[in-house]
Structure 1
Amino acid sequence: MTIINKNVKLDIPCPECGYKTKLSINEIEQNPSYVCPGCGKTINLNADNFTQDIKDAEKQLKKAFKNIKL
């Protein structure tokens, strides 16, 4: 069961100029580098850490949902 929708776009701020680029989790996992439209700098995201953080969040959400009694 997947809880996190990897197609949802996230605002990723440029560390240089602060411009926010909308990228999905899938896009980041497939290509962790992008060119900032605000300043033209190539941004390299750490996809390995990002992917692990998503997996950890998914585990925590599953655990939380399991504890909810309807």
Structure 2
Amino acid sequence: MPDAGVDEMEEAAAGHDLFEAVARIQAAGIDPEVALRAETLRYRDRIRRTEELAGDGVSLGELADEERDRMWKQTRA
């Protein structure tokens, strides 16, 4: 179902970019689904570590941009 707020040309270009990226990854002998799944898990874990730094009951959205960025950088593995 198309999103009325999305420019069709931009969406087509994004799809093309993704297709090319997958082709390059496969050409390097890497399974793109496995690579994406692993990166998604690392990203999730980094968000969780950032939330732990913020403390109980504190939403990352409530923090000032600078504070959130500082915590995000601290969790870089």
Q: TM tier, shorter chain? A: 0.3 to 0.5
Higher helix share: 2
The answer to which structure, 1 or 2, has the higher relative contact order (CA under 8 A, 6+ apart) is 1
TM-score scaled by length of structure 2: 0.38
TM-score scaled by length of structure 1: 0.41
Q: Which has the larger radius of gyration?
A: 2
Higher strand share: 1
